[in-house]
Amino acid sequence: MSRLPACEACRKAKLACDHKQPVCTRCVNSKGICIYRTTPFKRKRTEQSHHSPEPSPSFGPRRNPYPNPGYLGSSSHAAIFKHITPDGDHSLSGHYAGHTTGAEVPNTQWDGDNHLVLQGAEALRNLLSTYSLPALKDLVIFWLARGANLALAEPFVAACTESVSQLFTTHDENWHLVYARRLLQNSACPLHIDSTSDIREFAAQFLDHNTRWETLGIFFAAVSRATIDVGLFPALYTTEEAQYALRKMSTKLSDFALEISLSLDCLNDLQLIVQYENFIVHSYVDGDQSYHSWRKLGDVISSTFALGYHENIQAKPGIPFFLMELRKTAFARIYSADKNIAIFLGRPPRMNKRFCHFQIPSCGPLSDSGTQPHSEDWDSDSRVGYRADTRWSALCASLKEEIWELLQDKHDAACAQKASAIQTRAEAQWEALPPQFRLETRLKHCPRAPFERDFLGSVRLNHLHVCFLLRLLLLNTPTEPDPVIVETAGQMLALVVEIILLRDQLTNSGTGLIWKVAYFGLPAAGILLLALLNPHHPPLNSTVTGLPRTKLLQDLSVFAAEVQIGTIVRPGDPNYALLSKATQTIQRFLDSVHAEPAPQLAPNRAPAPNTANSTSTPDPDPASGPSAVAATQGTSSEDWAALLNQDLWDFEAGFWQSLADHPSLLGLGCGSGSG
């Protein structure tokens, strides 16, 4: 009788193995990964190098010869041939609506990219040789206990964390290579789904002994995010340098997990989740202006189209309710990210509603049954959570896309009328929100949990941002802001400042503090500075906007101070250059205010742009003051306005550099800046 090998887990534990494959009984009960060596009884030659791997974890270079076509639309060959096939076979169409969410390729060895797998195995060995896996698990659990989570992978993060923590129980010389191959084999297995499947059956295909590279991708994305929100965790890091080192290593492993999965060419729901969360991690680690983050977002959008999730998901048969909701959540979050990043960077969006079926999920937790609401309907008992944030962000992003399109036709006679219609819809959207989602008072007066308070602030900021963009669209020039946009900007900045001051009492409900500061706070502060630098503009009169000038100056002072002292960003952080440039300019303005008596501030400023026919108050002392500085340096306010007006929506570093060149600020220096 031939001798049967024991699995690695039983062999290392010196326990009897019943040799069942692919998973023995002991591994089933322990929920561990079950690995059988390919040459279990072959002794390692004594002359073998200490670093050379055993034959068992070797990787073949074979690749999938049948590429996964993904979604094929109405203009493709599949749309024609599906009318020809007599049995109505839909396999050519590539719709992921059937019994699997991955391609079935018979008799093919799925080995992915050999080089990537080896790199991923080495990264895994390095990380787990440096950090304790139980400590990494504890970090994620602590982070989850604070109310935070990954927005799209939320239903699976805790289970993935538990599975990974039980996975690597024993380490020998080549453990990382053995596990890498088994993870790869699991990742190559299609995710089987039919109309009767539930969320537990779906998750079981990538947990415990079915753990895949995607499972690791979710776990290490959670580790990276936890290092951002948890400033001190003695079991893993007590200094900023150690905190950054763990973040870098876990992000790198999340990258490898994603790239290895994608190399198999079997795109599915789980890979899309990992792609999105990996993009979000890079937006934190690399910054929102990074090309790397921009490319990652493009990859996520490409996968969304390849999976066909831009189509009407409800119209596809055989999809269980929970998966339909999960796909809607993925579409809505990716759609929102596309619009917000496009506006932030001033670049064209890549997901156009004209080519997408706009769809958003319900508010409740992901479940196996429920009813599909109309896209914009809210239940009166809707609960605060990531899915509610997803719904609201997508609804606001839809309006932002329409505003962005109007910007391209700004000189159209119907532009103002269309903008008015969008404004009406924006107000109706706000009123349609459940009362418990609307922030009607100061954030500090809301007796809510940290996650809920952050959620209320984010909801209000998104609504104000839509109104802000509409008014910005209608301005002839940003150097002449009208009272309405000044009031909106004042409300935005006041809320951002309040969020900054309450940051230790808030939990990330979908967007981080830095994003709120850069995306909402900077444009608001920029418009307020432009209004305060224009002496002939009504917003200087507090009776026009209801915003006292002292309150605006106070909010600007706090905003600048918090950035300068390093409580929000530090030198070396991804968004430091943008925020420091902006706060230097704000500080120079504030210095100019405190350097002169308030009544002399307006007369000493240069005339407002485009007001050649108006009567301006002359300088009481032509030899001194900012006007004299501007004249000395040969800079006119008209030249400055023309330079600033090159890009209406550019509130990045270029805007702040131009604003710093305002004639009223040129002679003030930047010694008070954040350097």
Domain map (residue ranges) of the chain: 1-39, 112-285, 483-609+619-668
d(CA 235, CA 256): 25
Q: Determine whether domain 1-39 maps to CATH 3.40.228.10.
A: no
pLDDT along the chain (675 residues), means of 10: 74 79 80 68 45 41 54 64 54 42 45 77 92 96 97 97 85 80 91 92 94 97 97 95 96 96 92 98 92 95 95 90 95 97 92 93 78 73 93 97 88 87 96 93 91 97 96 86 91 96 94 94 91 64 60 90 86 84 86 61 40 38 37 44 50 62 57 37
What distance in Å separates the CA atoms of residue 476 and residue 104, rounded to the nearest whole number?
57
Residues contacting residue 546 through CB under 8 Å, at least 6 positions apart:
487
- CB environment 41-67: b (16+ within 10 A), e (fewer): eeeeeeeeeeeebbebbebeeebbeee
> Exposed/middle/buried for 141, CB within 10 Å: 0-12, 13-18, 19+?
middle
pTM of the model: 0.81
Element housing 129 (H / E): helix 114-130
The confidence score (pLDDT) of residue 608 equals 39
Residue 424 Cα to chain centre, angstroms: 29
* Whole-angstrom distance, CA of residue 30 vs CA of residue 254: 25
499: tokens are 């969020």
| Cα(19)–Cα(522) distance, integer angstroms | 63
Question: 350: which residues sit within 8 A by CB, 6+ positions away?
Answer: 297, 298, 301, 338, 342
Could you list the beta-strand ranges (E) of 508-655: none
At residue 77, the pLDDT reads: 59
Q: Which two tokens stand for residue 285?
A: 């680690």
Residue 500 near residue 565, CB atoms below 8 Å: no
pLDDT of residue 275: 98
The predicted pLDDT at position 172 comes to: 67
